[in-house]
Structure 1
Amino acid sequence: MKLRWISWWTTNVVWFMLFAVGTVVIWIREVDGAGVTQTPELKLIAFLVLLIAFIIPIIIQFVWLIFNLRAGRNK
């Protein structure tokens, strides 16, 4: 059981770090890869796209949490 929790926390930290780095990159860049100058509105749209992309891992992590809680109760 302990290995499942260590794996869950490690994965959560990795996903959080990826999200944090992506957010910082979006908010500090002045020009994107296509050469478009980033306005606050475009940065917000890019952030929302990043957020939508991270919804799937959040759902998977939530299901994994429920699995860990139920498996821990059975022992």
Structure 2
Amino acid sequence: MADQLRATGPAAWAGRWLTGRGGGPARPVVCMMVMGAGGYRSGDYWRYGVPVLGWFLVVTLTVVPPVWQF
């Protein structure tokens, strides 16, 4: 793992880890466990995920340009 970390850089590795892309094959199992225990349906991920994604997009587009000017 140390070789992979150096090859991609710590910022790229941290970004993947923070966004949940480092979960590997265990992530779908966890999602299914949460769905079963909480009584969620597949549509609940869309119903709650799309507004959160929209909020994230708005915040990112308003914060990033003033902080890191292009």
| TM-score for the superposition, normalised by structure 2 | 0.40
**Bigger relative contact order, structure 1 or 2, given CA contacts below 8 A and separation 6+?**
1
| TM-score for the superposition, normalised by structure 1 | 0.38
